[in-house]
Amino acid sequence: MTAVDPVRLTANLVRCASVTPADEGALDILHDVLSDAGFDCAWADRGGIRNLFARWGSKGHPKTFGFNGHTDVVPIGNADDWSMPPFGAEVKDGIMYGRGTTDMKSGVAAFAAAALDFVRDTPPDGAIVLAITGDEEGDAIDGTTALLAYMAAQGEQMSACLVGEPTCPDRMGEMIKIGRRGSLTTWITVTGKQGHAAYPHRACNPLPALMRLMDRLASHKLDEGTEFFDPSTLAIVTVDTGNPATNVIPASCSGTVNIRFNDAHSGASLTEWIKTELSKIEAEFGVQTGLRIKISGESFLTPPGPLSALVSKAVKAQTGIEPVLSTTGGTSDARFVKDHCPVVEFGLVGQSMHQVDEHVKTDHIVELKAIYSRILTDYFA
């Protein structure tokens, strides 16, 4: 029988304008092609988000390889800035253009195509699971977490999982993610007393307090890095007063900080540090502070071992490149999967993701399918 074409499947997915939280038929395409091939498919929808669970083989088999990915995409921005239709999946000179071509409909198409061919041609003694969400680019509240909750309720289990996010900075095959940094965002408000700028002694200016606080946070060295992680980073991303007057000391101001942290910290330990710094500022400046914190994910690591070796072997066999095991980059849904089973990430070159004229080389999609096929072959050998 004819092999499943991952390029055509990618194009079909890209033509669905599935900007989070919309699906626009993307998961239906996958549901139909998987169910037609004998996968047991179920919807794990939650909170208005569509999530697809598909399994070939016996439920709960001790040798179950899983793939995880998403079909939702970020907004296109200004459509006039695109040289190609953002949901057209048009191919020019061997390059497909469109939102989601890189992040990550091509990755989903590649692992779906690999799985479809594999179970047809060499049915394994085991099971294959595809857990695909429509809520990764947003708050990720009702996406992969909903899939994992569904799996727990139904007695479904993956023994290992590969997330198909783009992982390679410049060349196909050069990087596998074995962990990710945690992410914490804190919104800080400082409140003093409004007054006339000519009589500062009659007011309590919150701005010097906020500036001192931001300087202390930004100047603090969080760590030197750990065995598998680069040093943690802290970025001040905005400071706001909303004060249009030059002769008025404002009553309050605010600032926002984002921290990407390694395994030397936790969200809780960083929260306590920030609270301590706020208390010092209150005592020094006589202001009041407010704090809101969102921990998008804790840092995690799948130590080098059988799973990373399996993926590395397949990547090198296909590309000739020995991939680096890395924990760099932002967050991904692997942060949820790591509580279920060992997880690593491997996918395409991600240079154009989230950009205008996002694109992917079509031969990279074919190559990615081949790598995923090798992984399945070696895993079930």
Catalytic residue among 135, 136, 165, 367: 136
Could you give the CA distance from residue 82 to residue 267 in angstroms, rounded to a whole number?
39
Tokens 């296109």 locate to 76
Three-state SS at 357 = coil
Contact 307, 242 (CB under 8 A): no
Minimal CA–CA distance to 111: which of 317, 359, 345, 358? Answer: 345
Q: What's phi and psi for 243, nearest 5 deg?
A: -110, 105
The DSSP line for 112-181 is: HHHHHHHHHHS--SSEEEEEEES-SSS--SSSHHHHHHHHHHHT---SEEEE----BSSSTTSEEE-EE-
The strand ranges marked E within the chain are: 40-43, 51-56, 64-70, 91-92, 95-97, 127-133, 160-163, 175-177, 179-180, 182-191, 195-196, 233-240, 248-249, 252-261, 288-297, 300-301, 324-326, 343-345, 359-361
Catalytic residue among 23, 72, 103, 277: 72
Helices (H) and strands (E) counted in the chain, each on its own, are: 9, 19
b/e map 282-313, b = 16+ CB within 10 Å: eeebebbbeeebebbbbbbbbeeeebbebbbe
Could you give the CA distance from residue 359 to residue 381 in angstroms, rounded to a whole number?
35
User: Known catalytic residue: 72?
Assistant: yes
Which amino acids are annotated catalytic?
A: 72, 136
